[in-house]
Chain A
Amino acid sequence: MDYAAVVFLEIIYMIAFLALTSAGLAVVFGMMRVINLAHGEFVMIGGYTTIACAKAGINIYFAMLVVSPLVVGILGLLVERLVVRQLYGRMIDTMLATWGLSLLMVGIVTFIFGNTAVSVPAPIPGYELGEFQMGGYNLFIIGIATLLIICMWLVMRFTRLGLVARGAMQSADVASSLGYDPKRVYMWTFAVGAALSGLAGGVLAPLTGLLPSSGGAYIAKAFITVITGGAAVITGTLSSSVIFGTINQIVSFGSTPVIGEIAMLAFAVVLLRLMPQGITGRFFRNAP
Chain B
Amino acid sequence: MIGDAANFTSAGRTHWGWIIAIFILLLLLPAVFDTHTPTLLGIWALFALSLGLMWGYAGILSFGHAAYFGLGAYTYAITSMNLGESTAAWIFAIVLPAFVAALIGAMMFYGRISDVYMGVITLVFSLIMAKFMGATAGDAYSIGNARLGGFNGIPAFPILNVPGDPSTPIFGTALYYVVLCCLVLCYLVSRWVLSSAFGRILLGIRENEARVELLGYNAPAYKTAIFSLSAAMAGMAGCLFASWAEIVTPALFGLGQSVEVIIWVIAGGLGTLMGPIIGAVLLGTMKLLLGGQTFIDNSLVIGAILVLVVLLLPKGLLPTVLGWRKQQGQRSVNRAHSNSMRRRGGERRQQRSAGEPDKTGHRS
A interface with B by C-beta (< 8 Å): 33, 35, 83, 86-87, 89-93, 95-97, 99-108, 110-111, 169-171, 216, 220, 223-224, 227, 231-232, 256, 258-259, 261-262, 265-266, 268-269, 272-273, 276-277, 281
Q: 13 A-B contacts, Cβ less than 8 Å apart?
A: A87-B311, A91-B356, A91-B357, A100-B263, A106-B303, A107-B300, A111-B300, A227-B116, A262-B131, A265-B124, A273-B111, A276-B113, A276-B114
> CB of B112 within 8 A of chain A?
yes
Looking at the assembled complex, report how far the CB atom of B129 sits from the nearest CB atom of chain A, in whole angstroms. 9
**For the side of the interface on B, what is the size category?**
35 or more
Q: Does A107 contact B115, Cβ atoms closer than 8 Å?
A: no
> CB of B301 within 8 A of chain A?
yes
What are the 6 closest A-B residue pairs judged by CB atoms, nearest first?
A: A107-B300, A103-B303, A100-B306, A104-B303, A100-B307, A258-B135
Q: Does A87 contact B131, Cβ atoms closer than 8 Å?
A: no
Q: Does A100 contact B303, Cβ atoms closer than 8 Å?
A: yes
Q: Does B134 contact A258, Cβ atoms closer than 8 Å?
A: yes
Q: Does A102 contact B297, Cβ atoms closer than 8 Å?
A: no
Q: Does A281 contact B361, Cβ atoms closer than 8 Å?
A: yes
A258 to B111, alpha carbons, bound, how many Å?
A: 28
A256 to B136, alpha carbons, bound, how many Å?
A: 11
List, in ascending order, chain A residues with CB within 8 A of B364's CB: 170
> CB of B2 within 8 A of chain A?
no
A227 to B121, alpha carbons, bound, how many Å?
A: 10
Looking at the assembled complex, report how far the CB atom of B58 sits from the nearest CB atom of chain A, in whole angstroms. 14
A108 to B123, alpha carbons, bound, how many Å?
A: 25
> Are A110 and B306 also in contact (CB < 8 A) when A97-B311, A258-B131 are?
no
> CB of B299 within 8 A of chain A?
yes
A35 to B125, alpha carbons, bound, how many Å?
A: 19
Q: Does B303 contact A265, Cβ atoms closer than 8 Å?
A: no
> CB of B363 within 8 A of chain A?
yes
Q: Does B304 contact A100, Cβ atoms closer than 8 Å?
A: yes
> Are A91 and B128 also in contact (CB < 8 A) when A33-B362, A86-B311, A107-B301 are?
no
Q: Does A92 contact B61, Cβ atoms closer than 8 Å?
A: yes
Looking at the complex, which one of A87, A106, A220 makes contact with B124 (CB distance below 8 Å)?
Answer: A220
List, in ascending order, chain B residues with CB within 8 A of A281's CB: 361
List, in ascending order, chain B residues with CB within 8 A of A87's CB: 310-311
List, in ascending order, chain A residues with CB within 8 A of B304's CB: 100, 104
Q: Does A95 contact B119, Cβ atoms closer than 8 Å?
A: yes
List, in ascending order, chain B residues with CB within 8 A of A276's CB: 111-114, 117
Residues of chain B in range 137-183 having any CB-CB distance to chain A below 8 Å = none
Looking at the assembled complex, report how far the CB atom of B362 sits from the nearest CB atom of chain A, in whole angstroms. 7
> CB of B293 within 8 A of chain A?
no
Q: Does A89 contact B356, Cβ atoms closer than 8 Å?
A: yes
Q: Does B299 contact A103, Cβ atoms closer than 8 Å?
A: yes
Residues of chain B in range 290-335 having any CB-CB distance to chain A below 8 Å = 296-307, 309-311, 314
Q: Does B300 contact A104, Cβ atoms closer than 8 Å?
A: yes
Q: Does B303 contact A107, Cβ atoms closer than 8 Å?
A: yes
List, in ascending order, chain A residues with CB within 8 A of B357's CB: 33, 89, 91
> Are A272 and B303 also in contact (CB < 8 A) when A169-B363, A262-B128 are?
no
Looking at the assembled complex, report how far the CB atom of A120 sits from the nearest CB atom of chain B, in whole angstroms. 24
List, in ascending order, chain A residues with CB within 8 A of B14's CB: none
Q: Does B259 contact A99, Cβ atoms closer than 8 Å?
A: yes
List, in ascending order, chain A residues with CB within 8 A of B116's CB: 35, 91-92, 95, 227
Nearest A residue to B124, CB-CB: A265
Looking at the assembled complex, report how far the CB atom of A237 sits from the nearest CB atom of chain B, in whole angstroms. 15
Nearest A residue to B136, CB-CB: A258
> CB of B266 within 8 A of chain A?
yes
Residues of chain B in range 187-232 having any CB-CB distance to chain A below 8 Å = none
A195 to B361, alpha carbons, bound, how many Å?
A: 26
Looking at the complex, which one of A100, A103, A227, A231 makes contact with B310 (CB distance below 8 Å)?
Answer: A100
List, in ascending order, chain B residues with CB within 8 A of A227's CB: 116-117, 120
Looking at the assembled complex, report how far the CB atom of A10 sits from the nearest CB atom of chain B, in whole angstroms. 19
Looking at the complex, which one of B131, B266, B297 makes contact with A111 (CB distance below 8 Å)?
Answer: B297
Q: Does B128 contact A97, Cβ atoms closer than 8 Å?
A: no
Looking at the assembled complex, report how far the CB atom of A220 sits from the nearest CB atom of chain B, in whole angstroms. 5
List, in ascending order, chain A residues with CB within 8 A of B125's CB: 269
List, in ascending order, chain A residues with CB within 8 A of B303's CB: 100-107
Q: Does A91 contact B354, Cβ atoms closer than 8 Å?
A: no
List, in ascending order, chain B residues with CB within 8 A of A171's CB: 362
A272 to B112, alpha carbons, bound, how many Å?
A: 11
List, in ascending order, chain B residues with CB within 8 A of A266's CB: 124, 128
List, in ascending order, chain A residues with CB within 8 A of B120's CB: 223-224, 227, 268, 272
> CB of B107 within 8 A of chain A?
yes
List, in ascending order, chain A residues with CB within 8 A of B306's CB: 96-97, 99-100, 103
A171 to B362, alpha carbons, bound, how many Å?
A: 8
List, in ascending order, chain B residues with CB within 8 A of A92's CB: 61, 115-116, 119, 356
Looking at the assembled complex, report how far the CB atom of A266 sits from the nearest CB atom of chain B, in whole angstroms. 6
List, in ascending order, chain B residues with CB within 8 A of A258's CB: 131-132, 134-135
Residues of chain B in range 341-364 having any CB-CB distance to chain A below 8 Å = 353-354, 356-357, 360-364
A220 to B126, alpha carbons, bound, how many Å?
A: 11
List, in ascending order, chain B residues with CB within 8 A of A101's CB: 303, 307
Looking at the complex, which one of B61, B107, B299 makes contact with A107 (CB distance below 8 Å)?
Answer: B299
Q: Does A256 contact B362, Cβ atoms closer than 8 Å?
A: no
A227 to B120, alpha carbons, bound, how many Å?
A: 8
A266 to B113, alpha carbons, bound, how many Å?
A: 16
Q: Does A224 contact B124, Cβ atoms closer than 8 Å?
A: yes
Looking at the assembled complex, report how far the CB atom of B343 sits from the nearest CB atom of chain A, in whole angstroms. 20
> CB of B6 within 8 A of chain A?
no
A89 to B59, alpha carbons, bound, how many Å?
A: 17
A100 to B363, alpha carbons, bound, how many Å?
A: 29
List, in ascending order, chain A residues with CB within 8 A of B61's CB: 92
Looking at the assembled complex, report how far the CB atom of B98 sits from the nearest CB atom of chain A, in whole angstroms. 19
> CB of B67 within 8 A of chain A?
no
Looking at the assembled complex, report how far the CB atom of A34 sits from the nearest CB atom of chain B, in whole angstroms. 10
> CB of B1 within 8 A of chain A?
no
A212 to B363, alpha carbons, bound, how many Å?
A: 36
